[in-house]
């Protein structure tokens, strides 16, 4: 497979590999997604807009240059913006792969950080010297304004050019919540939404703070995904209830939608409102709400790929691996897509997080 190197959200060349509930594989253009759905199905997408979460600045005690990547916050309330978890890097720019970035200076509680118009204090280390809790100075409005003026989208070294803010927003972007794009949603455009309605397929949204995809450190990457807040509107819960009652399927656009819905349903009936998704979804996770997923092409070893293993057994994903490689599917945020129905036979009876096979699609992203 090839890395998608251009930040085009819906390229004409985009491909879609589909795996049905029997494990059969077919190939399509991504614009044919609606043809894989049935009247009565319900499509749910993440409407989070992407925060410009990369903040360049100075570690004041040493005067060393740093990059602070915002990675989490306590909730999605607009005024809950003073405290963030963040991953910190040393000097370097977006052309350097994340795992090759220089380390930051030693970060200690109380250290001051100057980030353009913003100032912040390191409040605590979060189990790793580069993963910290920071508190910003100033009012809610000043913090949002500083992030908007000074922040940049988190960048990817495999791209030919730097991302602009609009490159990281989906067509349905609403409140600023994601730290990296909920990129499965790049497959949606207004024509597809119109086609859904014409075919009597429902559409609903939730908001989930899609987190960062890589920290550059194996030990810290093993903790991904971090805890992520979400909000599920009452109308979305009602739409799910109607679809299920009428025999329709719930189709998640992206792993973040699966994570929010399955977490919210993990303690009983699905409820609307706020929550914080914790833990990983993997092959031992029963899927209570979601019946199929549209996702990007993910490599094994990532939390995104582990989530796909909740839908299908390893041999099915291994067959998909060969097909993806044979036809040159593109990986990463602006790449091609897969559509995966929940298998009729149970996923592998192993613990979530266990090591999958390693080849091609099933090899760890670098």
**pLDDT, tens digit, 9 for 90 and up, residues 235-264:** 999 999 999 999 999 999 999 999 999 999
d(CA 22, CA 349): 18
Task: Return the pLDDT at 101.
Answer: 93
**Residue 8 confidence (pLDDT):** 65
Q: Reply yes or no on whether the pLDDT at 364 is more than 80.
A: no
**63, 105 in Cβ contact below 8 A?**
no
Name which of 58-62, 290-294, 318-322 the model is least confident about.
Answer: 318-322
CB atoms within 10 A of CB 197: 11
206: its two tokens:
């939730």
**Under a CB-based contact definition with an 8 Å cutoff, are residues 15 and 329 in contact?**
yes
Higher pLDDT, residue 364 or 27: 27
For residues 76 and 99, what is the distance between their CA atoms, to the nearest angstrom?
29
Confidence grade of residue 355 (pLDDT, cut at 50, 70, 90): very low
The residue behind tokens 């009729």 is 344
Which pLDDT does position 7 carry in this prediction?
63
Question: Tens digits of per-residue pLDDT, 106-136?
Answer: 999 999 999 999 999 999 999 999 999 999 9
- 78: Cα within 13 Å, side-chain hemisphere: 8
Q: What is the pLDDT of residue 1?
A: 52
Quick check: 51 pLDDT over 80? yes
Name which of 279, 293, 273, 274 is nearest 342 in CA terms: 293
HEC states along 245-303? HCCCCEEEECHHHHHHHHHHCCCCCCCCEEEEECCCCCCCCCCCCCCEEEEECCCCCCH
What's the CA gap between 129 and 340, in Å, rounded? 38
Ramachandran area for residue 60 (φ above 0: left; ψ -120 to 50: alpha; else beta): alpha
What letter does residue 105 receive in the DSSP assignment? Answer: P
Average pLDDT, the chain: 90
What domains appear along the chain, each with residue ranges and CATH number? 2-49+162-362 (3.40.1780.10), 53-150 (2.40.10.240)
Q: What confidence score (pLDDT) does residue 115 get?
A: 98
Specify the pLDDT at position 301. Answer: 66
* 148 CA to centre of own chain: 21
The residue that leads in pLDDT, 279 or 96, is 96
Q: What percent of the chain has pLDDT over 70?
A: 90
Question: Tokens 């250290």 belong to which residue?
Answer: 111
| 98: region left, alpha or beta (phi > 0 left; psi from -120 to 50 alpha) | alpha
Q: Give the global pTM.
A: 0.90
Higher pLDDT, 145 or 3: 145
* Lowest-pLDDT choice from 76-85, 182-191, 324-333: 324-333
């Amino acid at each position: 497979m090839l890395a998608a190197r251009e930040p085009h959200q819906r390229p004409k060349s985009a491909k879609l590999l589909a795996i049905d509930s029997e494990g059969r594989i077919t190939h399509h253009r991504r614009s044919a997604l609606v043809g894989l759905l049935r009247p009565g199905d319900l499509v749910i997408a993440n409407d989070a807009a992407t925060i410009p979460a990369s903040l360049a600045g100075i570690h004041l005690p040493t005067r060393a240059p740093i990059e602070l990547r915002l990675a989490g916050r306590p909730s999605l309330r607009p005024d809950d913006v003073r405290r963030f978890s963040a991953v910190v890097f040393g000097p370097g720019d977006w052309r350097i792969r994340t795992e090759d970035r220089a380390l930051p200076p030693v970060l200690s509680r109380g250290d001051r950080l100057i980030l353009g118009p913003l100032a912040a204090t390191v409040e605590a280390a979060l189990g790793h010297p580069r993963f910290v809790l920071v508190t910003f100075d100033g009012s809610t409005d000043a913090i949002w304004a500083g992030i908007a003026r000074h922040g940049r989208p988190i960048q990817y070294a495999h791209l030919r050019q730097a991302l602009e803010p609009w490159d990281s927003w989906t067509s349905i972007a609403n409140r600023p919540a994601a730290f990296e794009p909920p990129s499965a949603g790049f497959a949606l455009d207004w024509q597809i939404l119109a086609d859904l309605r014409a075919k009597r397929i429902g559409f609903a949204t939730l908001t989930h703070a899609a987190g960062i995809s890589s920290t550059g450190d194996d030990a810290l990457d093993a903790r991904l995904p971090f805890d992520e807040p979400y909000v599920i509107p009452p109308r979305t819960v009602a739409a799910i209830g109607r679809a299920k009652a009428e025999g329709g399927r719930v189709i998640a656009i992206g792993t973040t939608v699966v994570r929010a819905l399955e977490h919210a349903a993990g303690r009983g009936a699905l409820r609307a409102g706020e929550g914080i998704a914790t833990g990983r979804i993997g092959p031992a996770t029963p899927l209570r709400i979601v019946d199929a997923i549209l996702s990007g092409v993910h490599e094994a070893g990532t939390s995104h790929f582990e989530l796909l293993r909740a839908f299908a057994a390893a041999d099915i994903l291994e067959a998909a691996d060969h097909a993806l490689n044979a036809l040159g599917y593109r990986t990463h945020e602006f790449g091609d897509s897969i559509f995966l129905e929940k298998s009729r036979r149970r996923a592998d009876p192993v613990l979530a997080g266990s090591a999958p096979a390693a080849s091609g699609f099933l090899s760890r992203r670098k």
